[in-house]
Amino acid sequence: MLNVQLKIFCHAALIFLEVVYLFEPNLIYGVKKREKKSRSDSINHIIIKIKNGDIELKEKFIKKYKPYLLKIISSTLGRYVDPEVSEEYSVGLMAFNEAIDGFNPEINGNFTNYCNMVVNHRIIDYIRKNKKYSNVIPFSYFEERNDFEEKYLVSDSHYLYENIEVKEEILQFEQQLKQFGITLEDLVMNSPKHKDSRELCISIARILSENDKLFEKMIRKKCIPLSELMGLVNVHRKTVERNRKFIIAVSLILRSGLDEIKQFFRASEERREK
């Protein structure tokens, strides 16, 4: 069983599935780069405009920062969160709104830190009140131990074991991405945003990963053997080209020892087949 930090690291390898890096506010909201504001200052400026009544900006902000919210929730729970069916996501979304409405830059300083704290505490409170979480402790407990969590939550000792082999697999995965000129941030910006498109790309990646000849050629050439692959899939060539980085990353995972992540892909494919 993975220890706590390793599980969080493992889930970090999934960030491109729900795009959980912070987006650059200057790119999203049209703030000109020449203003030379830090990311924190830019976000704070956006929050101030929202609090002054810019409803459209608030909706856009929440939509674009959904991946960041998912990152907080997933890190707290120690597992992937599906926003379409997760009660925890609904709790986190309400907390995100609460953080926006309650943020004061003069008191709270950095919005992302403040937001993280509010969402984390609301998720922990939800866990405490929900019977299905009896004898379960959120992963954030191990990062910032406090009296609140220690009083209400019960630890499960199996989280304390390490699995060095899996950790090495994760590090190897990141190194493989670099060999293809791919970073996690690239995956953030280039992953398919729609569920159907994502599931289609996962199925393409599986075909690629299960064909030894194509996969080995991809590893050797550091690119998808497009001509050969197109003979095996019934999709438009541009679909593969547009989602190249995502498909490569998924195929690498499917050929790795990252069983927990592979399980997510299997579940995604099963939903698509229904």
pTM: 0.44
Cα–Cα distance for residue pair 269/267, rounded to 1 Å: 5
Cα–Cα distance for residue pair 2/134, rounded to 1 Å: 20
Cα–Cα distance for residue pair 50/185, rounded to 1 Å: 27
CA distances from 229 to 124, 239, 241 (A): 46, 12, 11
Cα–Cα distance for residue pair 226/237, rounded to 1 Å: 8
Handedness of CA 66, 67, 68, 70 (dihedral sign): positive
pLDDT in tens, the chain (274 residues): 444 444 444 444 444 444 333 333 333 334 334 343 455 567 888 888 898 889 999 998 888 888 888 888 887 787 777 888 888 899 999 999 999 998 888 777 778 888 888 998 888 888 877 755 544 434 443 344 333 333 323 333 233 233 444 555 566 777 888 899 988 667 767 778 787 888 899 899 999 999 999 999 999 999 999 999 999 999 999 999 999 999 999 898 888 766 656 665 665 556 555 5
> Cβ distance 4 to 78 under 8 Å?
yes
